[in-house]
Structure 1
Amino acid sequence: MTQSVTLDALDRRLIHALQIDGRVSFSRIATVLGVPERTVARRYHRLRSALVVRVVGLVDSRRIGMLDWFVRIDCTPDAADALTAALAQRDDTSWIAPLVGGTRLTCMVRTPASGTDSGRALFDHLLRTPGVRDVEAGCVLRQVAGVGGWAGRTSALEAFEQAALLGPAPEPPGDGEAPDEASGWGEAEARLAGELARDGRADVARLAAVTGWSASTVRRRVAGLRAAGVLHFEVNVDPSHFGFPLEALLWLEVAPASLVEVTRALSRHDAVAFAAVTTGRAAVFAMVQCRDTDALYDYLADELAALPGIGRMETALVQRRAKRAGPLLVPAMAERPERRGAGRYGPGREQRR
């Protein structure tokens, strides 16, 4: 649980800078923000120690032969908390949220893409878990909104400041390029990604120890994976710190002819933190951040209602986020990298992220 921290203007500018480049140096941030480097470093470590802000390295599942799934689990009220806690300890889960009402929870699960039984072991295990009544999984076909940060936390810097934080644009990989052709992916890369998922700003010495590479190789491989679109960095921060405490999940049935228009519109909506096209009854899944229920109503009745081709819509309010992107951390581990990853348990681990 995060501590009660009020973000001031400098905190918000720092968070925006980290969203632009999660591994940018404090000195560069300080130059752009016009404050001393020690101030930037002190602010960051204060926010991270309080578990308010966390930079995580994330891997594009498609480029390493994996699939992402949004899973809805219907369970008995007495099983919800235990199941949420067990799922949060897994390395292949993220974005876990019990929903208001106490009998449903949602999460994202990553599974191997090869074969027709992808994810079957986990899904079968869930169905055999006492208290679980139903499991519904939709495979993420394409992320269409929220990639690169929710608009609520990327509005603190002026355009010229954002440009000053960006390095040279990397050459994008080909659309159908295989991971090994784009960047190479092996056990060492998986260990690198796992450490960056725990701490996206882990220093080069730590990454070298984890991978067995030299410092120069670490720098080269991180740069190569980022340029190939395999690796990117995200800032985990609860939207309530920005004045948006209400999170709603939306499942939208969209006519195929309207899919492109709807998803393009969602990518421009400030309220949408994330959206993706998925398999299943609802073609589009979205996470929406609002100030209150009135704001949620206004969004549904105005912006969303104006879009063509949306048929049935299902909404649910998030009770809390038990886990966001990256492995679960506890406060005592937040500033102690040598202990990260210890004590994992749960209903089995399919792979290490």
Structure 2
Amino acid sequence: MKSDGKPGAADRGSGTGAVPGGPTGFDDLDHRLIHALQLDGRAPFSRIAAVLGVSDQTVARRYTRHRTRGALKVLGLPGAQAVGEVQWLVRVQCAPDAAVAVAEALARRPDTSWVSLMSGGTEITAMCRAPDSDHSDVLLLQKLPRTPSVIGVTAHCRLHQFFGGPQGLINKSGALTGEQIARLSPPPPDPAAAPVTLTDADRRLFDALARDGRTPLAELATATGWSPTTVRRRLTELRATGALYYDVDYDLAQFGYGVMVALWLSVEPARLAAAGEAMAAHPEVGYACATTGPHNLFASVLCRDVGAVYRYLTTRVAALPGVRAMESAPRIRHLKGPGPLFSAAPGRRR
């Protein structure tokens, strides 16, 4: 569900409120640093510094300060399709007095990527992962319906991702120039690469990277039992196939975003690709995918306030091709984002 940034030229004056103004905890250099890390989370500080035109020490100091206070973290995460996983968007309807407990239980599960409590306090939206389609029913059909106070469960298989994963809102911000982006961007994954079968050592590697995508090679070597050289080679291999990507997790409030809304759109099948690609380009959209079910296009939208949400829905969404129906639900509590669950994690994006 995946970053935010400062306004770009295309965003100013749009009236949507997608990119907030006013003081935040991040300045222009921080925006550029976050954009650089979104492009390559393990890029050496020396290379980032050279591209940004500042000293190595400045980059390291900025990153360490934000990382230490919990405002910024780099995560190394598995690319679902490249590792053969199937992802499900799950909507759980609960009795009001049970929704928080059910959401917290879902957040503790290792097979959920993010978990949010939506408007009204009776619906939970979560992204669940299964190693393949044969195992998708374990959580969806067996355990959730048996949970006390769960009224209903619907699950929608993610068919295609239009925006998200290694891409974040910071990529749309204009924080870096095209030349800077080219210097920092790794080669794109091979779309024809076969799904990667992860070994136990690979899973230990991903466990460490999910906690900190910039974990030093020596620590990754200890976690996996490999040599540092083998770790470096395996990181390159996994990145080249799309099995590994880096994401930046940060405090939404530091960018001034006050509202996240989940959108479920019903789009004519012949226009689904066009609508999804158009939505992926919207500066407000942090995640967009095609799914099964009557609402076949899902998106996470971030705005400054509810007025900006209204303007977004009545301008950009209203102009999408083939939209037959729309359902929207503001998020009232975010329990889990990308990466593992931490007991004291601050509010995060997406």
Matched, 1:215 2:228: yes
How many angstroms does 1:331 deviate by? Answer: 4.9
Q: Which moved more, 1:225-234 or 1:78-87?
A: 78-87
8 Å Cα contact 2:275-2:321 kept in structure 1: yes
- Residue 149 of structure 2 is matched in structure 1 by 131
Matched, 1:179 2:195: yes
The CA RMSD measured in Å over matched residues stands at 2.0
Residue aligning to 1:108? 127
Amino acid at match of 1:72: R
Deviations 1:2-53 (A, max 9, x none): xxx7111221111111001000011111222222222212221221222211
Partner of 2:16: none
Give the whole-Å Cα distance in 2 for the aligned partners of 1:253 and 1:120: 28
The residue number in structure 2 matching 1:67 is 86
Which 5+ residue runs of structure 2 have no aligned equivalent?
1-23, 346-350
Match of 1:251 among 260, 264, 267: 264
2:181 counterpart (162, 174, 191) = 162
> What SS does the corresponding residue of 1:318 show, helix, strand or coil?
strand
* Aligned-partner SS, 1:77: coil
Find the residue that maps to 1:29 and give its secondary structure: helix
Q: Which amino acid aligns with 2:285?
A: V
The 1:239/1:155 distance shift into structure 2, 3 A limit, reads: farther
Say whether residues 1:81 and 2:100 are aligned partners. yes
Corresponding residue for 2:109?
90
2:323 matched residue in structure 1: 310
Provide the residue aligned with 2:348 in structure 1: none
Partner of 1:196: 209
Partner in structure 2 of residue 242 of structure 1:
255
- Tell me how far 1:147 sits from its aligned partner: 4.2
Would you say 1:232 and 2:251 are equivalent positions?
Answer: no
**Other-structure match for 1:146:** 164
After TM superposition, give the deviation of residue 206 of structure 1 in Å: 1.2
The question of 1:263 aligning with 2:281 is answered no
| Shift in Å, 1:114 | 4.0
1:243 CA displacement: 2.1
Output the amino acid matched with 1:286: A
CA deviation profile, 1:148-184 (whole Å, cap 9, x unmatched)? 33334643112222222234x256141xx4324xxx5
Partners of 1:170 and 1:272 in 2: CA distance: 22
TM-score normalised according to structure 2 size? 0.87
User: Where do 5+ consecutive residues of structure 1 fail to align?
Assistant: 333-353
Which TM-score applies when normalising by structure 1? 0.86
Q: Distance in 2 between matches of 1:76 and 1:152?
A: 37
Seen in structure 2, the aligned counterparts of structure 1 residues 63 and 148 have a Cα distance that, compared at 3 Å, is: closer
Q: Aligned partners of 1:96, 1:166: CA distance in 2, in Å?
A: 30
In 2, the alpha carbon distance for the partners of 1:151 and 1:107 equals 20
- Indicate the residue corresponding to 2:20 in structure 1: none
**Alignment match, 2:137:** 119
1:193 counterpart SS class: helix
**What is the alpha-carbon distance in structure 2 between the residues aligned to residue 226 and residue 95 of structure 1?**
22
Q: Deviations for 1:209-254, whole angstroms, at most 9, x for unmatched residues?
A: 1111110000000001101111111111233322222110000011
Q: 2:64 matched to 1:51? A: no
2:334 counterpart of 1:321: yes
CA contact (8 A) 2:35 2:176 kept: yes
- Whether the 8 Å contact between 2:156 and 2:291 is mirrored in structure 1 is yes
1:51/1:331 contact within 8 Å kept:
no
- Counterpart amino acid of residue 301 in structure 2: V
Change (3 A) 1:123 1:209: farther
Sequence identity percentage: 46
Q: Deviations along 1:295-317, whole A, 9 cap, x unmatched?
A: 11111111111122111100000
